[in-house]
């Protein structure tokens, strides 16, 4: 009977997890079976019963830092009750591989895992020593064995297509979602202080080429497969900067995509890495949505604190270009930054967005990702205590920072909930100072979730929705709202 690895994640938030899907595909190529458990929504006894029923050879946890306290407790209890072999991976394990010191964790996978994970499965299934595999730490014979990082896979075309079926094992409703996520490349050339990329690049700079790109044919073959098997109707290509590529690659993609795939698609870009010719190519290929980050409307804070050196005129020029080419676009923004007067900075960000006129402006409350430069700055300046246990699970609930003025913090959190609505309906801007003073945080949270979900699924994608897709949308909205309300401080 084939051995089985079961992935355990806290929540999918009704989205595909590319990392889990890629590792599952690698396991399948090695003859292993795979399954997926979603921890949220299960009481411990149900989770314990599920693990015992599946009886995996390896229980693989994919964990983000704010999830770790809860996932750590689940892992501790599951190990005590079943003795299951627990492998921890994901972003938290990558940046904090010393969690191997936890007595209930037998292995930690850090980095990409394309080489180390299947090698581990091969050796485990053959009963061979696996404790010297690069890219993993192990607990064996009462000792902890630490290894160097694994090499990065340079040829992304050598990897199998992501296993999307495993997502439906965790959440059957995902079979009703015709929007699927792809990646054409790995890596980012920027060093934004709030993002994990600069830390990641430093950690793995000696392991191979950090920025790598798939061939157009390999990417399109995966998209063709997904379209045939899962009914792809909208594609989200989730590269950090899709347009950070050679002119030859983009020309081939925009020429072949309409013929071979031919569904609307969305990409991410950057104001420093896109020009008019690229916008026209993407438009002609069927790109209907482009996302780019504004992040902060205060040029001094953006440049000095975030290391984003982009002039306001660049954002305005790009916005006019997208409007002229009739490509819908959304912006990314960060509020509640660790600065003395965050509200004033956030209002500048709002006004810059209003000037750009995106179809939707996404606002996130600054999330002090452990290990990042901006998180270290926030801790040194006294905005956080450095422990991930106090962090919210998502960037849309409440600010994790301690600001000198609690009233200003409440105003910023209310502004965050109203941000996208005010950008879409700028006639609300004059009354915003009044709105953020009103104790209506719960109402604003409902408005935020509803507008976010409606904008993403209907205003941006603009594909016809079936009954099952509407059910999927409602579930996604309710899950997001539940995530917001969970551990929400008792303030409005």
In the 8-state DSSP scheme, what is residue 180? E
What local confidence, expressed as pLDDT, does residue 162 receive? 97
Is 115 within 8 Å of 147 (Cβ atoms)? no
The string over 447-474, giving b where at least 16 C-beta atoms fall within 10 Å of a residue's C-beta and e elsewhere, is ebbebbbebbbeebbebebeeebeebbe
Average pLDDT over residues 417-441: 97
Place of tokens 């889990």: 20
Is 402 within 8 Å of 428 (Cβ atoms)? no
**Chain centroid, CA 462 distance in Å:** 22
One of 3.40.50.280, 3.40.190.10, 3.40.309.10, 2.40.110.10 is the CATH number of 4-145, namely 3.40.50.280
What local confidence, expressed as pLDDT, does residue 199 receive? 86
**Chain centroid, CA 232 distance in Å:** 21
For CATH 3.40.50.280, the residue range(s) in the chain are 4-145
Instruction: Give the pairing of strands 107-109 and 136-140.
Output: antiparallel
Rounded to whole angstroms, the Cα distance separating 195 from 187 reads: 12
What local confidence, expressed as pLDDT, does residue 486 receive? 57
Is 488 within 8 Å of 398 (Cβ atoms)? yes
**Chain centroid, CA 430 distance in Å:** 34
What local confidence, expressed as pLDDT, does residue 395 receive? 66
Rounded to whole angstroms, the Cα distance separating 355 from 309 reads: 19
192-242 tens-digit pLDDT: 999 988 888 888 999 999 999 999 999 999 999 999 998 899 999 999 999
What local confidence, expressed as pLDDT, does residue 433 receive? 97
Asked which of 170-184, 234-248, 423-437 is least confident by mean pLDDT, the reply is 170-184
What's the token pair of residue 430?
């004059």
The span from the first CA to the last CA of the chain, in angstroms, equals 55
Place of tokens 């960000």: 349
Place of tokens 């581990």: 120
Share in percent of the chain as helix, strand, coil (round to 5): 50, 15, 40
What is the CA angle 179-184-190, rounded to 5?
110
Greatest Cα pair distance, the chain, in angstroms, is 69
Residue 165 CB contacts under 8 Å (≥ 6 apart), including other chains: none
In the 8-state DSSP scheme, what is residue 146? -
Rounded to whole angstroms, the Cα distance separating 453 from 459 reads: 9
Is 166 within 8 Å of 34 (Cβ atoms)? yes
With 0.75 as the threshold, say if the pTM is over it.
Answer: yes
What percent of the chain stands above pLDDT 70?
A: 92
What local confidence, expressed as pLDDT, does residue 483 receive? 59
Average pLDDT over residues 372-397: 80
Is residue 178 pLDDT above 80, yes or no? Answer: yes
448-457 tens-digit pLDDT: 988 988 888 7
Average pLDDT over residues 432-453: 92
Is 401 within 8 Å of 378 (Cβ atoms)? yes
Is residue 467 pLDDT above 80, yes or no? Answer: no
What local confidence, expressed as pLDDT, does residue 115 receive? 96
320-343 tens-digit pLDDT: 999 999 999 999 999 999 999 999
Instruction: Give the pairing of strands 185-186 and 212-213.
Output: antiparallel
148 burial level (CB within 10 Å; 0-12, 13-18, 19+): exposed
What local confidence, expressed as pLDDT, does residue 481 receive? 63
Higher pLDDT, 269 or 468: 269
55-84 tens-digit pLDDT: 999 999 999 888 898 999 999 999 999 999
**Average predicted confidence (pLDDT) for the chain:** 92
Contacts 24+ apart (CB under 8 A), 248-255: 249/213, 249/216, 250/278, 250/281, 251/281, 252/216, 253/184, 253/216, 253/219, 253/220, 253/285, 254/281, 254/282, 254/284, 254/285, 255/285
What CATH topology corresponds to 177-485? pyruvate-formate lyase- activating enzyme (3.80.30)
Helix (H, G, I), strand (E, B) or coil at 9: strand
For CATH 3.80.30.20, the residue range(s) in the chain are 177-485
283-327 tens-digit pLDDT: 999 999 999 999 999 999 999 999 999 999 999 999 999 999 999
Q: Looking at mean pLDDT, say which of 67-76, 347-356, 376-385, 481-490 comes out highest.
A: 347-356
What local confidence, expressed as pLDDT, does residue 458 receive? 77
Cross-strand partners of 9: 38
Is residue 165 pLDDT above 60, yes or no? Answer: yes
What local confidence, expressed as pLDDT, does residue 430 receive? 98
What local confidence, expressed as pLDDT, does residue 466 receive? 67
10-50 tens-digit pLDDT: 988 767 899 999 999 999 999 999 999 999 878 999 999 99
DSSP calls for 40-92:
TT--HHHHHHHHHHH--SEEEEE--GGGHHHHHHHHHHHHHHH---EEEESHH
CB atoms within 10 A of CB 426: 15
What local confidence, expressed as pLDDT, does residue 218 receive? 98
Higher pLDDT, 350 or 179: 350
User: Residue 395: how many CA atoms within 13 Å on its side-chain side?
Assistant: 17
Contacts 24+ apart (CB under 8 A), 120-127: 120/87, 121/3, 121/5, 121/26, 121/27, 121/30, 121/32, 121/58, 122/30, 124/3, 124/57, 124/58, 125/3, 125/30, 125/31, 125/32, 125/57
Rounded to whole angstroms, the Cα distance separating 87 from 96 reads: 14
What percent of the chain stands above pLDDT 90?
A: 76
What is the C-alpha radius of gyration for the chain, rounded to an integer number of angstroms? 23
Higher pLDDT, 211 or 482: 211
140-164 tens-digit pLDDT: 988 999 999 999 999 999 999 999 9
What local confidence, expressed as pLDDT, does residue 351 receive? 98
What local confidence, expressed as pLDDT, does residue 255 receive? 98
What local confidence, expressed as pLDDT, does residue 459 receive? 80
Instruction: Give the pairing of strands 179-182 and 107-109.
Output: unpaired
């Amino acid at each position: 009977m084939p051995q089985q690895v079961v992935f355990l994640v806290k929540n999918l938030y009704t989205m595909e997890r590319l990392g889990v899907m890629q590792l599952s595909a690698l396991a399948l190529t090695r003859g292993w079976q795979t399954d997926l458990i979603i921890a949220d929504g299960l009481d411990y006894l149900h989770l314990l019963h599920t693990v015992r029923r599946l009886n995996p050879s390896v229980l693989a946890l994919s964990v983000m830092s704010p999830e770790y306290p809860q996932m750590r407790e689940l892992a501790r209890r599951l190990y005590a009750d079943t003795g299951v072999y627990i492998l921890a991976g994901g972003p938290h394990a990558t940046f904090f591989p010393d969690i191997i010191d936890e007595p209930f964790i037998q292995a930690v996978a850090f980095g990409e895992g394309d080489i180390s994970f299947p090698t581990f499965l091969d050796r485990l299934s053959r009963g061979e020593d696996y404790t010297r595999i690069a890219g993993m730490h192990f607990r064996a014979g009462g000792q902890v064995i630490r290894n160097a990082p694994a090499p990065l896979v340079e040829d992304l075309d050598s990897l199998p297509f992501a296993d999307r079926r495993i997502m439906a094992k965790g959440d059957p409703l995902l079979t009703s979602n015709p929007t699927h996520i792809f990646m054409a490349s790995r890596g980012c050339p920027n060093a934004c202080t709030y993002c994990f990329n600069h830390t990641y690049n430093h950690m793995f700079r000696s392991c191979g080429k950090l920025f790598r790109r798939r061939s157009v044919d390999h990417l399109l073959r995966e998209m063709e497969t997904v379209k045939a098997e899962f009914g792809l109707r909208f594609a989200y290509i989730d590269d950090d900067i899709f347009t950070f590529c050679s002119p030859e690659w983009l020309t081939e993609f925009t020429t072949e995509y309409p013929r071979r795939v031919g569904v609307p698609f969305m990409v991410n870009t950057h104001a420093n890495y896109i020009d008019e010719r690229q916008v026209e190519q993407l438009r002609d290929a069927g790109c209907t949505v482009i996302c780019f980050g504004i992040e902060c409307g205060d040029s001094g804070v953006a440049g000095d604190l975030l290391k984003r050196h982009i002039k306001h005129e660049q954002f305005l020029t790009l916005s006019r270009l997208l409007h002229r080419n009739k490509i819908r676009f959304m912006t990314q923004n960060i509020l509640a930054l660790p600065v003395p007067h965050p509200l004033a900075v956030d209002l500048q960000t709002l006004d810059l967005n209003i000037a750009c006129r995106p179809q939707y402006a996404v606002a996130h409350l600054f999330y002090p990702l452990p290990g990042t430069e901006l998180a270290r700055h926030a801790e040194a300046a006294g905005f956080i205590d450095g422990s991930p246990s106090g962090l919210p699970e998502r960037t849309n609930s409440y600010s994790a920072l301690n600001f000198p003025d609690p009233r200003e913090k409440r105003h910023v959190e209310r502004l965050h909930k109203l941000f996208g609505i005010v950008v879409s309906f700028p006639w609300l801007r004059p009354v915003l100072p009044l709105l953020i003073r009103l104790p209506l945080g719960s109402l604003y949270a409902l408005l935020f979730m509803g507008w976010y979900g409606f904008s993403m699924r209907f205003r941006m994608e603009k594909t016809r929705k079936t009954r099952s897709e509407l059910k999927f949308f409602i579930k996604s909205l309710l899950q997001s709202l539940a995530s917001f309300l969970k551990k929400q401080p008792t303030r409005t």
